[in-house]
A and B are shown apart, each in its own frame.
Chain A
Amino acid sequence: MQRIGVFVCWCGSNIAGTVDVEAVSEALKKEPGVVFSTNYQYMCSQAGQDIIKNAIAEHKLSGIVVCSCSPRMHETTFRKTAAAAGLNPYMVEIANIREQCSWVHKDKLTGTEKAIILGRTAIAKVNLNAPLTPGESPVTKRALVIGGGIAGIQTALDIADAGFEVDIVEKQPTIGGKMAQLDKTFPTLDCAACILTPKMVDVAQHEKIRIFSYSEVESVSGFVGNFTVNIKKKARYVKEDVCTGCGLCTEKCPQKNVPNEFNLGMDNRRAIYIPFAQAVPKVATIDPRYCTMLKTGKCGVCSKVCTAGAIDYKAKDEYIEEKYGAIVVATGYNPISMEKFDEFAYSQSKDVITSLEFERLTNAAGPTAGVLLRPSDHKHPKTIVFVQCVGSRCSGAEKGKEYCSKICCMYTAKHAMLTRDKYPDTDVYVFYIDVRTPGKAFDEFYRRAVEEYGVHYIKGMVGKVSPQGDKLMVQASDLLANKQLHIEADLVVLAAAIEPDASARPLATMLTASMDTNDFFTEAHPKLRPVESPTAGVFLSGTCQGPKDIPETVSQAGAAAAKVIGLLAKDKLTGNPCVAHSNELMCNGCSSCERVCPYGAITYEDKEFRMPDRTTRMRRVAKVNEAVCQGCGACTVACPSGAMDLKGFASAQIMAEVDAICK
């Protein structure tokens, strides 16, 4: 029989407000096995933990039940407390009387009744708990960063600077991501390239960092400390180690009409290309969709002009298998497609552009060399209308996103300000729902756009944009003046909502990392563990976790790196002791468990058993590899003889819980 201690937490008034904690600790005293029961304001505080430690020593407790917040919150805390008092940490059970009781039930009587039942259930389970010891597994001291934008770059640099090897996988031919496409950055207006490209060079030159550009993650297996990742290096038809990046091929290639993705299709590139001058690695790539040689076998100009002999038309996709201890997701974002927003005439007029396209138009390295010209007729626009929240904050609509994309208010203020600064004769209108500028020096920046640069900010939504001749008629409402506006504009810029990159969803499935309904990766805890995924060993960096500006992305990238360093600095990881276990006496070697195991953790061995007549017989029995088992319990249900059980979630324990609830 266990000697159980029960500790009921008030959580200030969070629990005590709806649950009579005194009554709960009194009622639970009568449960079988309970020798001590008390309550305290904050069990997780030092004083609360001391109460637990003292009670364990004083009453020689063999198991404890803490009635408190969710085990997802403080199970680890109380397990450590138990361990500090010499009790096996797996003799602790939590009754969740906050998230699943006091916070969802208003009536105190109901809440108290339910809390008693939840406590009783946890006591029933603890009565059947057994001390568990976690196994240990080694840590591969190398990290994988998926995505080579500013988030991935910063994470990789921080991890590598701490002395660990890092590989970056980037699907584009170069690292740099969205930030490489930007012109200036708010609120300081320093140029994006000037602060990003030195970091890209640092990455390229760092002896601990390898870049797999033009590559994608194909499959992931394993677990924290021991991931095995298959990386596909797409054929770029140019030998990376031979190409000098001179760029001669990109000038001589006769296939000139390939839409340039880097400039969002606003100009053309060749079939062999280097995305931009500061690309890392600075290596040409052949686009097989357009290359005449690859399509018809007739051309070969690039091969003839390449003095280094880097062109290889016969190149094939390569697959690399590599081991990692930690994986950082930094897959970033994309502006949403404007297809569904036809009211803004994006598909009808070249002069309706997205903010990212505007960014390229004002960029010195962009298609117009930084001169603001209309895409249609290359004239200076005299009236520009910026529309904010295009697809953001669309609650309940089939198109667009419910969330705020966060960065649009600030970059629109930046665009408006820069336009007025360069071209003071331009009229600039900004239509907004709200202007949101929380951030260091952000509101000051927005005020400057309005007060110093005379940008017309109008609260209201644009209803329709219709092209008329070479003008764009903008119909909008001014909510503050309560009137309809008609503006004849030369250029309309849409602040498109941002969404996670399309590669994020399949990647999440590979990593078994969870996502929210918008396909942003979920963090392990929204406040306390914001850079970790709930899946151990998977970390989050940048906008894959939610909309962020550059300073926030860089901070999060550093935080993710710190978590990775903390993991890789360990020589061994303690595993999860709640793993499957086969009772050899009952197992008949039928292989049912092996077939359902997603990890291949079950093997079979022939074992000698003594028979009642004193002879021995060989029998095939299942054996669980505890380092590989993740403890899902699929095998326990598949086992027809009941030989397979899960430690910590044993069938007898769950049955006892069922009984306690139904009593």
Chain B
Amino acid sequence: MQVTEYKPKIVAFCCNWCSYAGADLAGNNRLAYPAEVKIIRVPCSCRVNPMFILRAFQRGADGVIICGCHPGDCHYTSGNYYTRRRMALLFSMLNYLGIEKERTRVEWVSAAEGAKFAATMNDFVQTVAALGENKRLEDLRCKL
């Protein structure tokens, strides 16, 4: 793969109970992943309003990933099912608007899967970096 200097901006939403803990575990085990990934902690993946993702793309994010507990393991019993449905809709709409579906992703990462978290982030950053900079949703009026 071609190595570029370009560094994508990646926003990762992680649920407090599984994926955020999985990210911490990746840290505990010193499993490296690109620094382009910045994590926002939310109580549950179902807290992620589609508005947040639109906002991220509007503000120049190149990729957005949402991580939650595995289906059936949600701390709030059903939150990740809502996430799965909502994001399926949102991502197909974003794809229609020109934000490639590779720039958006939902992953299930448990608190015990530090290695999976790091691997997922490595893969996601690589995928997004290969797509290049994202300009589609950028609304110049919003730029500070």
Contact = CB atoms under 8 A, between A and B. Distances in A.
Contact of B38 (A71, A111, A118, A508): A118
B109 to A, nearest CB: 12
A655 B49 CA distance: 10
Nearest to B82: A634
Given A514-B69, A515-B73, A637-B82, A655 B52 contact: yes
B35 A111 contact: yes
A635 to B, nearest CB: 9
Interface in A628-663: 630-634, 636-638, 646, 649, 651, 654-655, 657-659, 661-663
B27 A598 contact: no
Contacts of A636: 47, 49
Interface in A152-195: none
Nearest to B50: A637
Contact of A655 (B50, B51, B72): B51
Interface string A456-485: 000000000000000000000000000000
Nearest to B7: A110
A101 B59 contact: no
Interface in B40-59: 40-44, 46-52, 55-56, 59
Contacts of B73: 508-509, 514-515
B41 A104 contact: no
Interface stretch (A48-56, A92-100, A135-143, A232-240): A92-100
Contacts of B32: 104-106
A117 B41 contact: no
A632 B50 contact: no
A236 to B, nearest CB: 32
A357 B37 CA distance: 52
Contacts of A654: 40, 42, 47, 49, 52
A101 B26 CA distance: 10
Contact of A522 (B41, B49, B86, B111): B111
A114 interface: yes
Contact of A514 (B18, B30, B59): B18
A100 B30 CA distance: 10
A70 to B, nearest CB: 5
B27 A104 contact: yes
A11 to B, nearest CB: 12
Contacts of A377: none
B100 to A, nearest CB: 18
A512 B38 contact: no
Contact of B35 (A71, A101, A633, A638): A101
B108 interface: no
A661 B43 contact: no
Contacts of B44: 632-634
Nearest to B54: A658
Contact of A661 (B24, B38, B69, B144): B38
A501 interface: no
Interface residues of B, number: 52
Contacts of B17: 514, 534
A114 B39 contact: no
Contacts of A637: 46-50, 82, 86
B112 interface: yes
A632 B81 CA distance: 13
Most buried by B among A516, A517, A578, A632: A632
B66 to A, nearest CB: 12
Contacts of B127: none
How many residues of A sit at the interface, in one of the four size bands?
A: 35 or more
Contacts of A662: 9, 11, 56, 59-61
Interface in B83-113: 86, 110-113
Nearest to A661: B38
Contact of A99 (B28, B43, B112, B144): B28
B19 to A, nearest CB: 11
Contact of B111 (A110, A534, A596): A534
Nearest to A599: B76
Contacts of B47: 632-634, 636-637, 646, 649, 654
B11 to A, nearest CB: 6
B118 interface: yes
Contacts, number: 154
A167 B39 CA distance: 42
Contacts of A522: 111-112
Interface in A592-614: 596, 598
Contacts of A99: 23-24, 26-28
Given A534-B111, A596-B82, A649-B43, A100 B72 contact: no
B35 A110 contact: yes
Nearest to B38: A661
A633 B42 contact: yes
Interface string A275-289: 000000000000000
Contact of B39 (A100, A631, A633, A663): A100
A103 interface: yes
Nearest to B78: A598
A663 B143 CA distance: 9
Given A105-B35, A655-B51, A658-B11, A632 B27 contact: no
B20 interface: yes
A99 B41 CA distance: 13
A344 B68 CA distance: 42
A244 to B, nearest CB: 45
A117 B79 CA distance: 29
Contacts of B40: 121, 654, 657-658, 661
A71 B39 CA distance: 13
A104 B28 CA distance: 9
A529 B26 CA distance: 19
B129 interface: no
A514 B110 contact: yes
A72 interface: yes
Contact of A658 (B27, B43, B56): B56
Given A104-B26, A117-B38, A632 B43 contact: yes
B24 A100 contact: yes
Given A632-B43, A636-B47, A72 B26 contact: no
A535 interface: yes
Most buried by A among B9, B31, B35: B35
Nearest to A101: B35
Contacts of A117: 38
A517 B113 contact: yes
A659 B76 contact: no
Given A117-B38, A514-B110, A646-B47, 17 more contacts: A70-B24, A121-B40, A514-B18, A514-B112, A516-B112, A630-B76, A632-B79, A636-B49, A637-B48, A637-B50, A646-B43, A649-B43, A658-B11, A658-B56, A659-B59, A661-B11, A661-B56
18 contacts: A72-B24, A99-B28, A100-B39, A101-B35, A103-B27, A104-B118, A509-B72, A517-B113, A534-B111, A633-B42, A633-B47, A637-B86, A638-B82, A646-B43, A649-B47, A654-B42, A655-B51, A658-B61
Q: Identify the 4 closest CB pairs spanning chains A and B, nearest first.
A: A99-B27, A633-B47, A662-B59, A632-B76
